[in-house]
Amino acid sequence: MSFDAPQPAAPAFPLTTDRARPSGFDKLRANGIYGFDSRDIRSRPFTLLRAQILRIARARGWKIIGITSPTPQVGKSFVASNLAAALARTPDLHTYLFDFDLRRSTIARNFNLTGDVGVSHFLDGTISDLRQVAKSISEEQLTIFPSFPNAAASDELVGSARMDSLIAAMRALPEQTICLCDLPPVFANDDAVIVSQKIDAYLMIVEDGVTTKKQVRDSFRLLAPAPCIGTVLNRYDGGMMGDDYGYSYGQSKRYAGYYND
């Protein structure tokens, strides 16, 4: 099993010239993917998050980071997609984004990807080489492994020997790589708990005014002893940054971040 060469991956959309580049990314902006364009002010939370994730991961030797939330619909996959896009702009770093939210996959939709087979079909043995489903973003150091509907039991797939071999292959990737894994919400099923014990750490996404303290505490308890690399407070409307930089998180009403370790 191998996926160590991003070059053969089919492009998610063509970006053949500098002139073509904006039109390609405009399609993703319509889906809320801003992380590729550092000139877009909406990318700022994700570039800041990128810096924090890389600082901690490199200091601790972590390569495989999961992204989860206590409950659905708090922006988990939105943050995962934008963080992957921001990481893809890091020089000398290749980012891999895996969709392990097998029951309600949204990564493919976020990046306008279509297909019939994905990560779950590798895990159930339908395909033997994960490069068959890999998608690259032209001129970006990002490879996406989306998932598509599958009738197989997701908990059996993520707990399988094939999942273990995939994690081992991630760890065998070159040093200048990072793997992001979009996981299901903690309380949706036990998939996030299973995967969290196989990876290096996880990022917790919570929504301002929606996620409760009890949900966060219980999520940490269920995922233990897996380490939490940080917490993102999504859709924060408290104005964390001053106007000196011409932008306040509170003005966005879509998202914002609070990072800790």
At 220-255, the pLDDT tens digits run 999 999 999 999 998 776 543 333 322 223 334 443
Q: What is the mean pLDDT of residues 140-168?
A: 96
* Average pLDDT rounded to a whole number, residues 195-207: 97
Q: What is the pLDDT of residue 113?
A: 92
pLDDT in tens, 159-182: 999 999 999 999 999 999 999 999
Average pLDDT in the 204-208 region? Answer: 93
Sequence-distant (≥ 6) Cβ neighbours of residue 198 within 8 angstroms: 163, 164, 167
How far is CA 129 from each of CA 35, 178, 250, rounded to the nearest angstrom? 29, 20, 45
Taking 50 as the threshold, does the pLDDT of residue 79 lie above it? yes
pLDDT tens per residue across span 82-140: 999 999 999 999 999 999 999 999 999 999 999 999 999 999 999 999 999 999 887 88
Tell me, what's the pLDDT at 10?
52
- Among candidate residues 183, 177, 189, the one with its CA nearest the CA of residue 147: 183
Instruction: Output the CA–CA distances (angstroms, integers) from residue 176 to 29, 113, 172, in the order listed.
Output: 27, 26, 11
Which pair of structure tokens corresponds to residue 63? 């390569």
